[in-house]
Every structure is written in structure tokens, then in C-alpha cells.
Structure 1
Amino acid sequence: MNIELFEQFTFKIFIGGLLFDLAVIAYINCIFLILHIIPGNFKYRPLYQTTLKITFFAVNLLLISTNFIDIIYYRFTGRRSTFGLITATGMENDIIRLIPSYLKEYWYVGVSFLLTSIVLWMLMPNPKDKIVINNLTKKNYLKKCSYGIALLLVILIIGRGGFRKKPLRIVDAIEYGEVNNAGLVLNTPFSILKTLFKKEGNTFTHYYDSKELSKTYNPIISIKSNQAPLRKNVVIIILESFGNENVGRGQTPFLDSLITKSYYFKNGFANGKVSIDAVPSIISSIPSLMNDSYISSSYALNKVHSLPLIFKEQGYTTSFFHGAFNGSQNFDKYAKAAGFDEYYGKDQYQGKDAFDGKWGIFDEEFLQFYATKLGTFKKPFFSSIFTISSHIPYIIPERYQNKFPKGTTDIHESIAYADHSLRKFFDTAKKQKWYKNTLFVISSDHTSSGGDRETDQTNIGKFRIPILFFDPSNPALTGVSEKNFQQIDIMPSILDYLHIKTDMVSFGKSYKSKENFVVYYLQGTYHYIQDDYYVSFSDNKVIGLYNWKKDVLLNNNLMKIDKVRAQKAEKFLKTYIQSFNERVTNNQLVI
């Protein structure tokens, strides 16, 4: 169903997938095997057998259902779901509200699951003949015990993935195909079970001592300037799912025109694949380098010198807006932890009825509410808004049905509506006194599931997003930057542009910096771009090196040809990862 999301399917991928399937089947059903092979005639009682049968069916069906969910969810996250992802704090209410829409739009997945459950039940043995129970001798007990031990050993070997040094892990999926095909090799129950009791964050690896660590990479940034700080308002607009695959194709005429009047980062990248990764990346310069999202982890309450706190030190008023239900994706709690003065969600919205029936307030009305509300704040102000209408189920107001181009993917019509809403926001903002003294920063939260070009599905394309800085009072802040730029670079860049002196911990860099790298992470693999080269890093080593400008589909691995570059990239990534893990774990995200 998702063939366009993967590279070529091979027999090796199938064998790898089978290995992971058998492993999780062994894990799940080991207990049922034990309960069937324990010596003793009590096993043959009808109640015992019926209980085992129903429990076996329920447990296996529950875990099989996660595979069906990921048929669709994978399109949005780019990875198999883990325990941390499905239990993220703040997501439960969103999931409950959206389930009816998912079932309606993707009805064929629900039907397929129902048919699978019926077939599974029908295939399960249901002996009609009454079992004849014989008295067991000591020899019978010994024989059955030896069979039981032999079967358990076989199950353990299968669960480990064969005769391996270490039990099968999520990262081992790359042995059977390219990184982009890991989702095909893995299955969701395996990913969930492997992360069920896993500590939040990544496996901590100590590569270097502190001296060597700081010599290669130091996340402490000093913003210095001889000029007085610019007392400009700052507005950050985070656009839901506005990945590069949706921009410049006729759906976003306003954003396309705004890009020509802005300082546009042509090579912009998201730091994650879900919305809850974007907010800490943009607001606090904290990348998403853990298996669980930072915003829903126990580290979310770490001390952070984020933008709202820095701006409050400068005398700014601060606010965060999100048109969805209050509590959605834990944004309200994170906004408070990050230091925002005020949070405005669906409950605080004032205006005509504009509830979309599922998710929150339509973008047009909520952005108008936002534009008006900004005018009431004490100047200067720092504010951020997160749009929602281009989020699945892609609902647009009835009055706009068939008014926008449908495009080539499911999301395109709602992208066009969101772009129209953005235009209306700027039309209103232009009429207000605060407008000309405001720096606008626009970034997508992540890419969408709907990329229909080959380049959209590579490990580069899956993270490419538009990022732009627009200052209506500064015509010099225009042009196209070729610099590799990511969401965590936004915070230091804003402070540098406004000449706000500060020392801070940031895993990004200012737009004025000579450094030219980005780092992002997805399910066991780190992705690193330095200049024209892309590196994938997994299991403590570099597994791929590509010239992503010339080799856009990442087909030509240069690891063996350019060993020096690969070694240099590996050292940088190890120091970057260790520095992040140490600082997050030890609550050292401030100086």
C-alpha cells in the first residue's frame, strides 16, 4: 500500500522481514508455549484450553492491529511506531478524536483488519473429539519435560534472530536493505516490544573524554554584537506539514511570493518527523535526537534558556498560539515550561464559530484572531503560532469546497486553504501599527506524507522544509541562502539578527556562522549533512556517504572511495551525539 515510500523491494528484504516477524512471534507466544507444554493432565480441561485460545487470539490480534495502524501512520512519521510514540503524553486525546476520521478515510485498512481477525480465528484449532486423559508415569513426565526444554530453546533462538552475538535489535534492520527500507524489514509489534521497557532517550555511549569532546564540538554559542539590540517584535509561524514537496507547485501562491521578498533558506531541514519535535527545535534549539519526543519525555522540564525567556529578559511580552484543543500534543505544558507568558488554544479563541468538527479552529479564523490579538500586546512582543488545517483529516470549510486546486496528493487542497489563510493574516497584519517593526519567521513543522516525487522519499527529501525570515522594514534581508539550515538554527539566528547578546547552549548555529551542517535522527539512524555530502550513521558507525547535490536519489555510496571524509564525519557525529545525551540526561541545557 506504500510502495512509493520505499526503494526497490528485494528478496533479501523479504528474508529480513521474515526474520523479524518470527522473532516477535516467538517473544509474544513464548508464554502460550509454556502453558501448553507444562507436564500435567490439567491442561486438557475445556476451561483451561478455551481460556488459552481466547487469550492467544486477543494478544496476537492486538499486536497485529499495530501493523495495520502503521500502514497509514508510517506515511506521516517515516518510521515504525515505538512504545514511546504511541504512549506520548498529550497525544491520547488527539488520537481518540481522530480515530473516526481515520476509519472513514482509510476504511480499507479497517476492513482488511476485520478480515484478518476472522481468518485468524477460523484457522485456530478447535478439536471436536473429547481428549482421552491417561495417567502419566515418571517416564512420561521426563519425556514431556525434555520436549518442553527443547522447544523453549528453539523459541529462544528464533526470538534472538538466530545464532547472533546479540539479540535482534531495531537497528539490525539495515543489514537487509538500505536505511530507507528499514520500515519494510521491521514490523510494528517488534518495534513496540523492543522499546517497551527502554529508558527514554538513546542508548548512552561514551565515545570521548570531556577534553576531546569540547575540542571537536561545543554546543555553547556566544552571540556578540557592537550594535544596540533591535527592539523589533518577533512572530514565528509554524505551518503544519508544509514540506518542500508541497511548495512551489501551485498550491502555495502566497508563500511562494513571500519567499521572493524574504531571506529564504533553500536547503531548510526539519529536526523531526512529527509536530511535537518541531516546537522544542524552533523555540529552544533542542533537536529531536531521542527515540521519544523531547516534549513528551521526562526531560521536558529540564532548565532551558529558550527564546521566550531570553526575550523576557529584554522586556518582551511572550505568547504561544495553537488552534487545536487545549492540551493537544502537550503544547500548552511545554509553552509554560519554555517560559511563555500566555498560551492561547481553542478554548481561548474569540470570534465566529469556526470549529472544524475534529481538530480545532480553522486556520483562517484562528489566524485572524491571532492578528487582532497581537495588536493588544505590550510592545515589543515575541509570539509563535502553530497552524492546524493542513493536518489529517485535511478538513476545509464548506464555503471553500472546490475553490482550491486539488493537486496530486490528499493534502494539497488543505495546503492551498492554509496558504490562503496565511495571505489573509498578512492582509490584516499590514494594517496594524506593529507590522513594520516585526520580524516574521516562517517554518514548516515537518514534511507531509504525500510526496509524489522520487526525491521526496529519500532520507534528504523526507526532512526538507521551507524556512524564511521576512522583515517588511528591511529590504536588505532578502535573497536565497544555499546554507544547510535546520529548525534548531532559527533561535540563534533570530538573536543574532536582533543583536541580542547572549551565551547559550544550542545544537544549531546562526545564519551568519561559517558552519554548514545539519543533524537529524529517525529510529536508530542519525542523518548528517555537511556541505554537499550526506552521511547516515547507525550502530556507532557510518553506514553511508553520498554527494546529495549530484546523487539526488542517494544511489552511489562513497564510503570506500572517500574514507577520510567518512572518518571525519563519524568523529563529528559521535561528539555531537555524546554532547547532546550528556547535557539532556544531566540537565545541562543552560550555561
Structure 2
Amino acid sequence: MSKLLSQNCILFFKRFALIFIFYQVCRIGFYFYNSHLLDPWDWKVFIGGLRFDLAALGFLNMAFALLHIFPGKFQTRAGYQQFLFYSFYLVNIFFLCLNYVDYEYFKFIGRRSSYAFITATGMEQEIPGLLKNFIVDYWWIPLFMFLSFFIFWLIYRKIDYKIKRSYINVKDIIIAILVIGIMLVLGRGGLQHKPIRLVDASQYGGLKNTALVLNTPFSVIKTMGKSEVLEEVQFFTDSELNKVFNPIQEFKYDSINKKNVVLLIVESFGRETMHRGLTPFMDSLAQNSHFFENAFANGKVSIDAVPSAISSIPSLMNRTFISSSYALNDVYTLPKILKENGYHTAFFHGAFNGSQNFDQYANVAGFDEYYGKNEYQGPEAFDGAWGIFDEEFLQFYAKKLDEFKKPFFTTLFTISSHNPYTIPEKYKGKFPKGNADIHESIAYADYSLKKFFETAKTKEWYNNTIFVITADHTCSEPKEDHWKTNVGKFRVPILFFAPGDESLSIEKVEKNFQQIDILPSLMDYLQINTKIVTYGKSYKSEQDFVVNYLDNIYNYEKGDYYLAFDGKKTLGLYNWKTDPLLKNNLMNTELEVLKQMEDFIKAYIQSFNFRVKNNQLTID
């Protein structure tokens, strides 16, 4: 090898090795920062982490490898070497620091961030306020980033890059091609048939440690510039498929029950926040309603809850349905169905208009009207970050309901229990702080709901209304271990409250229930004649299943059992009622249960992927 090529190769691999070491430091920090949410570290996690780090760095540095070793006298020019010096540093330190974002955000979504989150799609107006609060509330994260910039720089600048003049021969080209080939192999994660994917992390990290195996740059790269493309799987023939799971449901009644419908989606109001002194109103309401004790969200972020609740579409993709390429699919949603039956429809969200694309999806879903921060009328109540405080916005909501033509169907999404968990100054010290940062704002949200219902009781439409209350997803800071599993981290309250209707029983229902069950349940309750595609089931159904998806794992509950499925094979089977920490894998003992549950989840995935990908979510 010529002296010039030798110097360039050594220089590049020294720089590459340095950034690789920093990735390991980031993973160690991620583990200790989130150890209460993760399983213990083992050698498989270590090996998997090395593989995904090399894949990310191989992809990111392929061009730099070429620029370092491509033969030519330009390599000896000081200006060219300075360009390589600074560009390698800036690009790699930027992507390295993306890992720190997930030190905190992992608590909220239970997985590594995607490109859509890093670029804040749908949240452009909130960025200045949220960024300010992020820096203040989590000051140690920017500090970690700054220290990485600084320490990396101190070491990086010690690597000599003054290339001396030397001759070039044909061997240089061969070596350059060889090095680029090595980088290509690293970037695709090895020599296997397909490049390494996000889902492959599950073979190293188990159910809880996939985020520990992955790194954020890899997750961002894999989701960058790509629309969600669902794989069409073929576990069953069409006739076999419909026998195992058929999403088409028909409802037939003689007359419609034209009740008003109020759907309230409360931010981060996980099941774990109830019955601990924080939520006296919801605790009381649960005892006086049709309350689903074992209720689940169908996603882990706010943007998943809306299509789940109003469209009966679960979040079974790595990209949220609203921001995916399928967002404009024709879907027979609650507002469309109810509008056809004489209902006035409206969507309310107290945040900036455009936040999380809710206004866009409300239009696609068929709501007549959208009310956001721009449409709010009332006393000044901006929280400084997201939008209008819950109490004032819910009172504005009650006033608007008074003005609507009856019957109406409305959905309201609250905001105050979202990070940074701001509550009005006048209530500081009024609510219990609990043992997590979010708890005071949860107590404030509960109080805001109480004030809304006090106002609603005075309205003529109150006794002719069914109220459906749920959360978008669970709290980000659970303390007990059973709320941290792939079962517990989806548990939310769901209740039906119909103050003027004695036919809806007041009881605690043990059957598994989920957000996507709301639409078919309302079809049954309102006695609407219709035929729909739904991946849920009515509250009157004997079925007892729940399906959700997180970090490339399908989570399926049926009765007391929980199945973890990676899309191809089962990872675990547990009795989540008797084994809430999911320690005892029953795959090798409960073979009949395993077979039944595997067949169902395979049919469910096959049906969902085909219908969503081919825009067949409605009945012709």
C-alpha cells in the first residue's frame, strides 16, 4: 500500500473508531438513565448494539470513507483535509447527539424516535415554546450534548490529519474499493439477504430491550424520507382468513337511538394514575358508569389515539397512521356514519391549529367543524407551550355544544397533562404532586373534567348524551413494574356514561376492551343500521381481544393471555393476570392456546396490511 493511502486509511479508521466508542458510551448512559424501564443488560444486547451501531455509522460514513481514501494528489492539500476534518466532526456529532433525545422521550413512547418525530412533523408552531421548556425542564440533556461536543472535540483534534506527499499506484484503487465494500457491508448490517431492519433488534433485546439494542440515528435513517409500506403477508387463503378473523361487521336495528355523543380523549391519563388520590372525579365517575377495568390504548403516542377511537384503525405500523402514506385512505369513520344519520359533528383540540395534524385528519375523517386554539373564545388561558389550559377550553367546549344542532357528535382532546405539565398559576399548590412530574397536571386535568361535567349538568342536552372517556396513551413515568411491561404500558381507562339511560348498566366490566372498540360499540348503542370494516368489536360482543403494536412487536391479549409476535414468529406467551411482570413464558406448555392465538394474530395482520395498503377500509 502506498504511503499516502496508508495514512488516509489510518486517519479515517481512527476517526471512525472514536465515534464508534462514543456510541457505546451513549448506550451505557441510555441504559442507566432508563434502567427502571428496561431488563438487565446481557451479552446479547451488547452484541446487537455493536451491530446496529456499525450499521448506522457505516451508512453515515460511507461518503467520508470515499473522500478519505479516493486516490489523488488533492488529498495532500491543506484545504481539502480541513474540509474533511470539520465535516466529519459536524455530521457525526450531530447524529450522535440524537441519542440523547431518546434518553427522555423513550419514557413517553417506549421506543427509539423516528424521522417524523425528530423533524416534529405536525408540531411546527409549538416548537419554540416546547424547545424552551425542554431546555429548562431537562437541562441535563442539552448538557450531555454539549459535553459530547466538547469531549469529542478534545480527542478528535489530537488525531493528526496532516497528510504528507506521496506517490499513488494502482493498488490504491483496489484498496479504496475494498474499504468502500467494507463500509457497504457495515451499512447494511452484514451479508444477510436483506439489510438489517428495526424489527431485527428483537432477536437481541427481548420484549423490553429493543430500544437499548438500537440507536436513534439508525431509527431515524430507516424512517427518513419513506412512506410507511405495509408488507402483504399470506398466512391464510381468503376463505381461511375470514374464518379466523373477518373485519366486516353489520349492525341491524328497527330504529335509531339518537343520543348526543361526547368523546373525551384525555392526554396521558393512563390507568395507573387512577385510584391513588390524584383523580377523585374520574374515580367516582368510573364507579357510576359502564367502566372497562381491562381497557387498552391502541398506540403509544397522542397522534395514534384519534384514528383508533373515531376510525377503529389500530396503530400497527412504525409510522403513525395520520402521518403515513395511508392517511388519505377512504375510511368510514364515526363522523361520516353519524352525519349520514343526521348528526352535527365537530372536533376540538386546545393546541395550536395544525398541531399533530389533527385538523387535517379531522377534515379527512369527515367532521363538519374544527376548533383549535385559533377558534377559542374566552378568558386568556394560553399555557405558554401547547395551547389553552384544559379548564377554560372545556368550558368553551360546553358553550359550543349548547349552540350545536342536536343530535351532535363531538370529540375533544385535552392538552394540559402533556409535557411540560404546566398548570395555571392560580392552582399551584392546590393539587397533589404525587411521585412523578406529570401527576400534578393529571390532577388538574381531572379537576377540569369535574368542572366541565358540573357545567354540562345544567344543559338540556346532558341527559340525552352518552359520554365516552378515554386517554390517548399511558403516563410516561409509571412507578410500579407491572405498568412497564408491554401489557401495562397500554392500559388506559375507557368508560361509557349515559346519565339519562338506565339501559346502559353501571358496572365494572372485566372483558378486555380497546380504543378501536369505541366505534362498533357506538353503532350497537345508538342502534345504527350500517355495515363497516372495523378491527375492533362492540361492547356487546362476546369476543375478548386487544391488539396493539410497539417497537416492531405485535401485542395481543385474549382473556388472561398475552402473546408477543414479531410479524413472523411468537416471542412469548404469558398469563398477564397471574404473571403481571411477564416472567413465566408459556410457549412450550400452553400449546393449544399458543396455536389459537398465533392463528388469530396472523389473520389480523394479514387482513389489516392488505386492506390498509390497498385502500379497502370501506364496504363498496
2:88 to 43, 56, 78: 56
Following superposition, the deviation at residue 73 of structure 1 comes to 1.2
Corresponding residue number in structure 2 for 1:212: 240
Corresponding residue number in structure 1 for 2:554: 526
- Segment drifting more, 173-182 vs 560-569: 560-569
User: Secondary structure of 2:327's partner?
Assistant: helix
- Contact 2:230/2:613, CA 8 A, preserved across alignment: no
CA distance in 2, matches of 1:130, 1:239: 60
1:13 aligns with 2:13: no
In the TM superposition, what are the counterparts of 1:426-445 in structure 2 within 5 Å? 426-445=453-472
In the TM superposition, what are the counterparts of 1:564-583 in structure 2 within 5 Å? 564-583=592-611
- Contact 1:318/1:340, CA 8 A, preserved across alignment: yes
Corresponding residue number in structure 2 for 1:584: 612
1:235 aligns with 2:262: yes
Corresponding residue number in structure 1 for 2:145: 113
CA distance in 2, matches of 1:283, 1:574: 25
Structure 2: 5+ residue stretches without partners:
1-32
Following superposition, the deviation at residue 522 of structure 1 comes to 1.3
Corresponding residue number in structure 1 for 2:271: 244
Corresponding residue number in structure 1 for 2:563: 535
- Contact 2:247/2:534, CA 8 A, preserved across alignment: yes
Following superposition, the deviation at residue 429 of structure 1 comes to 0.5
User: Secondary structure of 1:330's partner?
Assistant: helix
1:399 to 1:564, Cα distance in 2 relative to 1, 3 A: same
1:118-158 CA-to-partner distances (Å, cap 9, x unmatched) read: 1222222467796431343xxxx233233323333433343
- Contact 2:391/2:445, CA 8 A, preserved across alignment: yes
CA distance in 1, matches of 2:493, 2:278: 14
Corresponding residue number in structure 1 for 2:14: none
In the TM superposition, what are the counterparts of 1:553-564 in structure 2 within 5 Å? 553-564=581-592
Corresponding residue number in structure 2 for 1:102: 134
- Contact 1:470/1:477, CA 8 A, preserved across alignment: no
- Segment drifting more, 551-560 vs 195-204: 195-204
Residue identity in the other structure for 1:132: K
Following superposition, the deviation at residue 91 of structure 1 comes to 2.8
Residue identity in the other structure for 1:561: T
1:2 to 1:128, Cα distance in 2 relative to 1, 3 A: closer
1:220-279 CA-to-partner distances (Å, cap 9, x unmatched) read: 1111234x2112111001000000121111110000000000000001000001111000
Corresponding residue number in structure 2 for 1:255: 282
Q: Scaled by the length of structure 2, what TM-score is found? A: 0.92
- Segment drifting more, 447-456 vs 187-196: 187-196
CA distance in 2, matches of 1:127, 1:473: 76
In the TM superposition, what are the counterparts of 1:66-77 in structure 2 within 5 Å? 66-77=98-109
CA distance in 2, matches of 1:446, 1:517: 18
1:128 to 1:485, Cα distance in 2 relative to 1, 3 A: closer
- Segment drifting more, 49-58 vs 3-12: 3-12
- Segment drifting more, 263-272 vs 475-484: 475-484
- Segment drifting more, 254-263 vs 52-61: 52-61
CA distance in 2, matches of 1:79, 1:199: 19
- Contact 1:80/1:183, CA 8 A, preserved across alignment: yes
1:297 to 1:156, Cα distance in 2 relative to 1, 3 A: closer
User: Secondary structure of 1:521's partner?
Assistant: strand
CA distance in 2, matches of 1:492, 1:262: 19
- Contact 1:254/1:419, CA 8 A, preserved across alignment: yes
Following superposition, the deviation at residue 85 of structure 1 comes to 3.9
Residue identity in the other structure for 1:26: G
1:329 aligns with 2:350: no
1:195 aligns with 2:216: no
Residue identity in the other structure for 1:244: R
- Contact 1:217/1:576, CA 8 A, preserved across alignment: yes
1:294 aligns with 2:321: yes
Following superposition, the deviation at residue 415 of structure 1 comes to 0.3
- Contact 1:88/1:296, CA 8 A, preserved across alignment: no
1:402 aligns with 2:429: yes
Corresponding residue number in structure 1 for 2:510: 482
1:345 aligns with 2:345: no
Corresponding residue number in structure 1 for 2:21: none
- Contact 1:236/1:440, CA 8 A, preserved across alignment: yes
1:291 to 1:119, Cα distance in 2 relative to 1, 3 A: same
Following superposition, the deviation at residue 319 of structure 1 comes to 0.9
Following superposition, the deviation at residue 540 of structure 1 comes to 1.1
1:362-414 CA-to-partner distances (Å, cap 9, x unmatched) read: 00011111111111111111111100000000000000111110101010000
Following superposition, the deviation at residue 25 of structure 1 comes to 1.3
Residue identity in the other structure for 1:196: M
- Contact 1:201/1:291, CA 8 A, preserved across alignment: no
User: Secondary structure of 1:318's partner?
Assistant: strand
Residue identity in the other structure for 1:553: L
Corresponding residue number in structure 2 for 1:29: 61
1:417-451 CA-to-partner distances (Å, cap 9, x unmatched) read: 01000000000110111111110000000012111
Q: Scaled by the length of structure 1, what TM-score is found? A: 0.96
Corresponding residue number in structure 1 for 2:200: 172
1:506 to 534, 549, 574: 534
Following superposition, the deviation at residue 79 of structure 1 comes to 0.8
Following superposition, the deviation at residue 95 of structure 1 comes to 3.4
1:145 to 158, 173, 176: 173
- Contact 1:94/1:329, CA 8 A, preserved across alignment: no
Following superposition, the deviation at residue 74 of structure 1 comes to 1.1
CA distance in 1, matches of 2:61, 2:513: 47
Corresponding residue number in structure 1 for 2:400: 373
CA distance in 1, matches of 2:382, 2:59: 45
- Contact 1:355/1:361, CA 8 A, preserved across alignment: yes
Following superposition, the deviation at residue 206 of structure 1 comes to 3.0
CA distance in 2, matches of 1:172, 1:94: 34
Structure 1: 5+ residue stretches without partners:
none
User: Secondary structure of 1:360's partner?
Assistant: coil
CA distance in 2, matches of 1:440, 1:199: 36
Following superposition, the deviation at residue 539 of structure 1 comes to 4.2
- Contact 1:85/1:292, CA 8 A, preserved across alignment: no
Corresponding residue number in structure 2 for 1:304: 331
